[in-house]
Structure 1
Amino acid sequence: MRHRIVLLIFAMIAAANLNVEANKKIKPLLTREAIEIDGHLNEEAWSQTQMIDDFTQQSPDEGQPITERTEVRMLYDTEKLYIGFECYDSQPDKIVANEMRRDGQLWQNDNVYIMLDTYGDKRQCFFFRTNALGALSDTAVTDGGENLNGSWDCIWEVAGRQHEKGWTVEIAIPFNQLRFKKNDSMVWGVNFGRNIQRTNETSQWIQVPRSQSWPGTYHPIYQGKLTGLQGVASPSYFDAKPYLLGGLARNLEDGDWQRTTERDLGLDMKYGITSNLTLDLTLNTDFAQVEADQEEVNLTRFSLYFPERRDFFLEGSGLFAFGAGIGDFGPPPLSVFYSRSIGIEDEREVRLLGGGKLTGKVGAYSVGALNMTTAASGEIPMTNFSVLRMQRDILSDSTVGFILTNRQSDFGSDYHRNGGIDLFFRPHDQWRMRAMTVGSWSPDPEERDMAWYLSNNWRNKYFRVNASYLDIGPQFTSKMGFMHRRDIRSLMLDTDYEIQINRYGVRDVGTGFAGGYLLDHDNNLIGWEARIGGNMLLESDDGFSLNVQRSFDRVDESFSVSDAEIPAGDYEMNQVSLRGFTESSRPFAVFGRAEYGDYFHGNRVGISLDSQWRMTYQLAIETRYQRNWINLPEIDLFTTNVVGARISYALNTRFFTKLYTQWNDSAERASANFLLNYIYRPGSDFYLVYDQAWDTSDGFHTHDWTVLSKFTYLFSL
């Protein structure tokens, strides 16, 4: 009986508190008039449709009306949804607009955004952001805003224009780029927002609580209703995008230069099976235009986590997320599906023969299936990778689901599999809980075990508390996933308190505590940490933080860092770190960090300095420098250095160039990557790529170089 009462209470909480949807509606006007996307809302239909202007501040003065009038209008025809923003500004000469790159850092400019929950289920949405220059940034959002895929690229149009009263943007989003359940008259969730950079003001049509900060703007529970969409064409479609690649390459092998001619072709296809289910197929997949990974110095004995950059794996990637710490910032301690396990072995690319991916939603079920095959390469046999992921919507904003993965070589008995179930429960818009259990099995008995995870996250206007427990068995493996270590029982607590000051030039002051306790499965202590710190954000949007940490680490086996060896043993360490940053929308911005403390049985001083200089709205220079001074008893003081620079130039929103250079002295390598990208028609690109690598073990000696051109063309049927 008590269990039933508890379940009833939870259900009442979910029903009562997740209804943050305001009673606001916007009804676009169906137009037969041709709408030219030019930044001028001068077609007659714009004056006839509904206008909304009741925006509310999220920050700095939560709950107050927006300080600069903002008007939004919507139109649609059978093929596209149109949105027009009129952003009035009493100081038009102070509008910040200096970013033109696709998916650039538009949040550092004056910008507007649209959230479209096309299923109306408050679980997933499409998020579009633009600025006064008409730059494009789009994000696919899943798990109620917990997973953000900023590399999803929609084919849409924007035109921006600045004028004496402020600025205007005009937007067109084709319906066939969205997924939705087609009805005679559809109702979607929608929200609009505007950021005024010089005053650090953020406002929305449906206000997001200040305690949710910027991540809350991606949460689809904060929505009004978009009503009256009728006669919209079904987004069932077929796209084919062939590519043609050619170039030259030269590399040094065993002291001899080998020169090769690069010639290749392939095909990507996309078929809209229904209005909300899409099939992607790829043949002889190529990622020549993908930027190199950012160089890092690994000062630990665990593997580094690098983000996925390949388009095929990025689209719909949020649906395949499964593990511990999913949705948190930083690398997850356990991810059952890590797409970089496909086509990359020992930091070398392995040819992708092809495969397919099915993603979408059928009723209350979100479905994802992926199958890819890589070619044999040296000692690596031909390998097939498969993933099946499904989630079922429950209650107002919760899901339950499962995942199955299979990695099989030569289609024989050499396989590795994972299978698990997970729960995301959100009884309140400020309270989230996750649970997950997963197993591994293969022909090797020492690769069969279980892992499970529980987390609880709660926040209000001032406090945030996150507690979690992770258990990974001694033999658990995930060859299609990523994990730092196994044979652990980990208890973590992270909490902070923040208060708004708004006086003496200070906006916010905060303090926090984080701690962790780590055991193995024999209940032996293998690690712990405790960290306390504080931070301050100024009215100018400059800020700094100070943290002090004490930790314990048991090293079972010695490992190497550069030329030094860290012996096995127990280590207690203290560390202090200071971080500072300047307001990021300024033409020149700096982000710095300094650390000092124990490093196992020695000590370490580390600094990092990143800068960003927007010389014009077309030209930007970014630099990065990291240096460590490490002192260990057995050897003299040694240093590690990482230097990077990126120069970006945008002729307009369809023509970009970029030069990215890096040097990592501990890895004894340097590299340069040049990319030219011209979008000559929506969805179709021309790329020119030049890559060069140097061996720096004894000066700078060219190790290899490649020059490629790639041409793609989108056929839409």
Structure 2
Amino acid sequence: MTSRLLGLGLLALALPAWPSNGPAHPTALRLDAGAAPPLIDGRLGDAAWQRAPVYERFAQFLPIDKQPARWRTTVQVLVTDDALVFGIRAWDAEPGRIRAPLARRDQVKADQDYVAVFIDPVGHRRTAQYVRVSPAGALEDGQFSAEEDSEDTAPDFDVEAAAMRLPDGYSIELRWPLAALRFPHAGGAPWRVMVARNIPREDRTLNVSAPALTKDALSFIAELQPLDGLDDLVEQVRERSFITFRPELTLRTTRDSDEAGTRRARKASLGAEFKWRPRADWVIDATLNPDFSQVELDAPQLAGNTRFALSVPEKRGFFLESADVVGPTQPDESGENRSLAAFYTRAITDPEHGLRATWRGAGAEATALSLRDAGGGQVLRAGAFATGSGLQPEGSQASFARGRMQFGGLGLAGLVSLRDFGEGLSTEVVGSDGVWRAGDSDQWRGHLLLSRTTLGIAADGQVQRVGRERGHRAWLGWRHRDGDWVANVNVEEVSPRFANDNGFVNQSGIRRASAMGYLRLGPRELLVDMHESEVQLTVQETRTLADPLLGVAGGQVVDRLFQPGFWFAAARNTGVWGHVGLDSHRAKSGGRLHATRTLLLGFESNPGELLSFLMGEVEWGRRLDVDADRVGLGLQAELQAKLRAPLPAGLWLEFEQRLGLGWVEGPNGQRAFTDRSAQSLAVLHLSPRDSLRMISQHTHFTRREDASVALAAEDGRDRQLSVMFQHRVGLSRLFSIGLTRASERPGQVRRRELFAKLALGY
């Protein structure tokens, strides 16, 4: 303890003194018309920075909130003709300990030093655009949602940033074009901002420029501050028109082989994306023949012992414009994202062309889009015990619209979703959703969706026309958060015939109630110094609704969960959690309700600069073998590790490894099935703009033959390899060339593709 206090004292002496009478809020300096904007080089040496007001009232948020900031950070803001420019100075008494590896876009995480800027130009603190910049100039950007208190890194903004390492810290310049901000034409609230600074040492520290922000708040952006000094900026720029045109050319050659033979093809594809902001509150997007291949491969998931379809995140740019107007895209604290039931963009497989319009007002917002989809994906039809799937018809029109109005703390929205496959096959969904902020600690959310479809799935997996089927989905959720406890309570009902071919519906014909509660115990010392600690309890029960079509009787328990657990945070951004699962599950209608008894333990940490992230979770005990409809001793485990290493000549190596393993024993003590997955990702950063990336991943599911339950032996393998060189300058210039190989068994399916892609932004 004495050495720690001595170290803090030396740190305080090492820091320069600064005045405490600066502005109460971040304040911008308007540059005169025609004045030269600052050069974005990270130096903060331009004359304008000498005149800009300095804000430095930072407070600690992590590991313990409501504490004075130990590291000095200052913020300055300039306003040019077409952008906000942030100048941020981060002092550090031990600059040699700053962690600043080269990293891919959207990979600036808690294991690195960084500064982050959150902007809410609507001013209601419901959503915020954010950008993180590391001392190496690496970028992460995205959208933060207050409703889920979570961030979505998928959206990318056309920002420019530069960093400069200094003998006593580092400095950042961030240019945020006004064209990349979304705000009302008139009547909007003052623009709001917050700056955060991350310092990953033995105890990760996060300082914020909003001193009133505490962990008791419902969201991280609850205390965004007004950005002073803008004066009539909104009035001056709200009529400006911005246009972005992004043509792209893709060349590819493929070779596919299976038991039927080998096929070769060559293709040149010319596409384009167009974005027009005629004035501040409108954005028009168009896409023509987009090439959405060669995004990062979706991380493999253990799927051999699950009855239900799995969702994957969206990564395609066209769908990410103003994604918050469509609805939340990330899970809330309970881990659920029920908004995907209304609109799930990955249901649109291969768009040929599309058009979208988004509007924002001071108290309302709306978006509408329509795309022609070439098809090739899956159509889902869910039940209470499993998700059925069929091959999506080629050629369909997907349309979606949602509008929302805000009345103080109450937000109400209406939506419509249409999918027309032709030949009388269509699905229509209408509905409403809402959110109510009932004070500083409570939030209510819910939706009601009504569906009508003529598309069904035959026993052989082919789609077929059926009589018009109707269904509904209703959900109501309550979230509470204060200094003592956190709660999430949800009730929902999904009728047997509810379907949405523009959404994600993996279970229907059920009625469910769930609750998750966390009692916050605060800092504790028990074997280790806990910065935070909680005891937790999760309970849930899901019952069937009567479904004569599938022969499912009503009132059957599908699952019943009772999971007391714990969580605590410690040094090196370490979190440890666990629970006892005193659960019950039913595998099929009319089957036995099996008692499953498991123990789950997990941890995550940022151990150091080389091994920057480590996460592991294992669940062991009596687990359900879904296909065999029995319980056996089993395990499910996941491990993730990230390494970042400097190399000679200023190169950086980034390596990530994901491993998954699941198995359940049969009555004879042998493993009835084994489910494995693995993904290795290596990135050699040649410069901040150039990188060489390799991804290798595979899944492998095996099952022993078991005549007692009429199960045949299985051996399914899926392997993928991708190697790509990429040159990228923000969002304006992209060139990539690479090779992908894939194989699948059974079927002996093999695919090889060589590709080159060039995209330019104007």
In structure 2, which of residues 647, 660, 672 is the aligned counterpart of residue 626 of structure 1?
660
Any idea what SS the aligned residue of 1:458 has?
A: strand
Q: Is the 8 A contact 1:149 1:318 kept in 2?
A: no
Q: Do structure 1's residue 266 and structure 2's residue 271 form an aligned pair? A: yes
1:265 is displaced (CA, Å) by: 0.8
In structure 2, which of residues 506, 523, 536 is the aligned counterpart of residue 484 of structure 1?
506
In structure 1, which of residues 530, 545, 557 is the aligned counterpart of residue 562 of structure 2?
530
Q: Do structure 1's residue 449 and structure 2's residue 450 form an aligned pair? A: no
Q: 1:277 maps to which residue? A: 282
Q: 2:737 maps to which residue? A: 688
In structure 2, which of residues 131, 137, 142 is the aligned counterpart of residue 139 of structure 1?
142
Q: 1:659 maps to which residue? A: 694
The 1:184–1:73 alpha-carbon spacing in structure 2 relative to 1, beyond 3 Å, is: farther
Give the Cα–Cα distance (whole angstroms) in 1 for the partners of residues 365 and 738 of structure 2. Answer: 37
Q: 1:26 maps to which residue? A: 27
Q: Do structure 1's residue 671 and structure 2's residue 713 form an aligned pair? A: no
Give the Cα–Cα distance (whole angstroms) in 1 for the partners of residues 582 and 212 of structure 2. Answer: 36
Any idea what SS the aligned residue of 1:544 has?
A: strand
Give the Cα–Cα distance (whole angstroms) in 2 for the partners of residues 499 and 94 of structure 1. Answer: 32
Q: Is the 8 A contact 1:279 1:358 kept in 2?
A: yes
Any idea what SS the aligned residue of 1:652 has?
A: coil
Any idea what SS the aligned residue of 2:86 has?
A: strand
Q: 1:553 maps to which residue? A: 585
Q: Do structure 1's residue 112 and structure 2's residue 115 form an aligned pair? A: yes
In structure 1, which of residues 515, 525, 528 is the aligned counterpart of residue 539 of structure 2?
515
1:88 is displaced (CA, Å) by: 0.6
Q: 2:684 maps to which residue? A: 649
Query: CA offsets, 1:136-168, max 9 Å, x none?
Result: 111123455646331111111111111111111
Q: 1:433 maps to which residue? A: 444
Q: 1:408 maps to which residue? A: 420
Q: Is the 8 A contact 2:124 2:189 kept in 1?
A: no
In structure 1, which of residues 335, 339, 354 is the aligned counterpart of residue 345 of structure 2?
339
The 1:556–1:628 alpha-carbon spacing in structure 2 relative to 1, beyond 3 Å, is: closer
1:583 is displaced (CA, Å) by: 2.0
Higher deviation after alignment, 311-320 or 485-494: 311-320
The 1:376–1:216 alpha-carbon spacing in structure 2 relative to 1, beyond 3 Å, is: closer
Give the Cα–Cα distance (whole angstroms) in 1 for the partners of residues 187 and 395 of structure 2. Answer: 48
1:446 is displaced (CA, Å) by: 6.1
In structure 2, which of residues 390, 396, 399 is the aligned counterpart of residue 383 of structure 1?
396
Give the Cα–Cα distance (whole angstroms) in 2 for the partners of residues 304 and 622 of structure 1. Answer: 22
1:304 is displaced (CA, Å) by: 1.3
Give the Cα–Cα distance (whole angstroms) in 2 for the partners of residues 519 and 407 of structure 1. Answer: 30
- AA at the equivalent of 1:605: L
Q: Is the 8 A contact 2:678 2:697 kept in 1?
A: yes
The 1:109–1:528 alpha-carbon spacing in structure 2 relative to 1, beyond 3 Å, is: same
Q: Do structure 1's residue 599 and structure 2's residue 623 form an aligned pair? A: yes
Any idea what SS the aligned residue of 2:438 has?
A: strand
- Equivalent positions of 1:30-109 (< 5 A) are 30-31=31-32, 32-109=35-112
Give the Cα–Cα distance (whole angstroms) in 2 for the partners of residues 50 and 400 of structure 1. Answer: 40
Query: CA offsets, 1:307-347, max 9 Å, x none?
Result: 1222212333332227997675355496221111111xxxx
In structure 1, which of residues 523, 529, 540 is the aligned counterpart of residue 572 of structure 2?
540
Query: CA offsets, 1:157-199, max 9 Å, x none?
Result: 1111111111111111111111223579993111111121113
Give the Cα–Cα distance (whole angstroms) in 2 for the partners of residues 325 and 436 of structure 1. Answer: 16
Q: Given the two structures, how large is their TM-score scaled by the length of structure 1?
A: 0.88
Give the Cα–Cα distance (whole angstroms) in 2 for the partners of residues 370 and 488 of structure 1. Answer: 31
Query: CA offsets, 1:648-690, max 9 Å, x none?
Result: 1222332233211111112411111123221257522112132
Q: 2:708 maps to which residue? A: none
Q: 1:288 maps to which residue? A: 293
Give the Cα–Cα distance (whole angstroms) in 1 for the partners of residues 668 and 413 of structure 2. Answer: 52
Q: 1:565 maps to which residue? A: none
Q: Do structure 1's residue 471 and structure 2's residue 471 form an aligned pair? A: no
Give the Cα–Cα distance (whole angstroms) in 2 for the partners of residues 169 and 322 of structure 1. Answer: 30
CA RMSD of aligned residues (A): 2.7
Higher deviation after alignment, 66-75 or 236-245: 236-245
Q: 1:704 maps to which residue? A: 751
Any idea what SS the aligned residue of 1:313 has?
A: helix
Give the Cα–Cα distance (whole angstroms) in 2 for the partners of residues 249 and 107 of structure 1. Answer: 40
Give the Cα–Cα distance (whole angstroms) in 2 for the partners of residues 597 and 326 of structure 1. Answer: 28
The 1:682–1:488 alpha-carbon spacing in structure 2 relative to 1, beyond 3 Å, is: closer
Q: Is the 8 A contact 1:606 1:628 kept in 2?
A: yes
The 1:376–1:293 alpha-carbon spacing in structure 2 relative to 1, beyond 3 Å, is: closer
- AA at the equivalent of 2:66: G
Query: CA offsets, 1:370-400, max 9 Å, x none?
Result: 10112366982421000010010111x4310
Q: 1:498 maps to which residue? A: 520
Give the Cα–Cα distance (whole angstroms) in 2 for the partners of residues 326 and 383 of structure 1. Answer: 32
Q: 1:164 maps to which residue? A: 167
Give the Cα–Cα distance (whole angstroms) in 2 for the partners of residues 57 and 624 of structure 1. Answer: 33
Q: 2:639 maps to which residue? A: 609
Q: Is the 8 A contact 2:108 2:134 kept in 1?
A: no
Q: 1:573 maps to which residue? A: 596
The 1:229–1:478 alpha-carbon spacing in structure 2 relative to 1, beyond 3 Å, is: same
Q: Do structure 1's residue 249 and structure 2's residue 272 form an aligned pair? A: no
1:520 is displaced (CA, Å) by: 2.2
Q: 1:419 maps to which residue? A: 430
Extract unaligned runs of 5+ from structure 1.
1-21, 344-350, 559-567
Extract unaligned runs of 5+ from structure 2.
1-22, 377-390, 455-465, 546-553, 625-629, 702-715
Q: Is the 8 A contact 2:564 2:581 kept in 1?
A: yes
Q: 2:224 maps to which residue? A: 222
Q: 1:205 maps to which residue? A: 209
Q: 1:297 maps to which residue? A: 302
Q: 2:761 maps to which residue? A: 714
- AA at the equivalent of 1:599: R
Q: Is the 8 A contact 1:100 1:652 kept in 2?
A: no
Give the Cα–Cα distance (whole angstroms) in 2 for the partners of residues 42 and 76 of structure 1. Answer: 16
Give the Cα–Cα distance (whole angstroms) in 2 for the partners of residues 57 and 326 of structure 1. Answer: 24
Query: CA offsets, 1:461-480, max 9 Å, x none?
Result: 23101111001112222222
1:287 is displaced (CA, Å) by: 0.8
Q: Is the 8 A contact 1:624 1:643 kept in 2?
A: yes
Give the Cα–Cα distance (whole angstroms) in 2 for the partners of residues 440 and 546 of structure 1. Answer: 39
- AA at the equivalent of 1:615: A
Give the Cα–Cα distance (whole angstroms) in 2 for the partners of residues 578 and 549 of structure 1. Answer: 11
- AA at the equivalent of 1:92: P
- AA at the equivalent of 2:138: A
Give the Cα–Cα distance (whole angstroms) in 1 for the partners of residues 749 and 451 of structure 2. Answer: 43
Q: Given the two structures, how large is their TM-score scaled by the length of structure 2?
A: 0.83
- Percent of pairs with identical residues: 20
Give the Cα–Cα distance (whole angstroms) in 1 for the partners of residues 189 and 581 of structure 2. Answer: 53
Give the Cα–Cα distance (whole angstroms) in 2 for the partners of residues 196 and 479 of structure 1. Answer: 45
Higher deviation after alignment, 61-70 or 688-697: 688-697
1:631 is displaced (CA, Å) by: 0.8
Q: 1:583 maps to which residue? A: 606
Give the Cα–Cα distance (whole angstroms) in 1 for the partners of residues 472 and 188 of structure 2. Answer: 47
In structure 2, which of residues 410, 421, 428 is the aligned counterpart of residue 398 of structure 1?
410
1:275 is displaced (CA, Å) by: 1.0
Give the Cα–Cα distance (whole angstroms) in 1 for the partners of residues 124 and 327 of structure 2. Answer: 19
Give the Cα–Cα distance (whole angstroms) in 2 for the partners of residues 326 and 388 of structure 1. Answer: 23
Q: Is the 8 A contact 1:368 1:389 kept in 2?
A: yes
Q: Is the 8 A contact 2:146 2:219 kept in 1?
A: no
Query: How many residues were matched structurally?
Result: 672
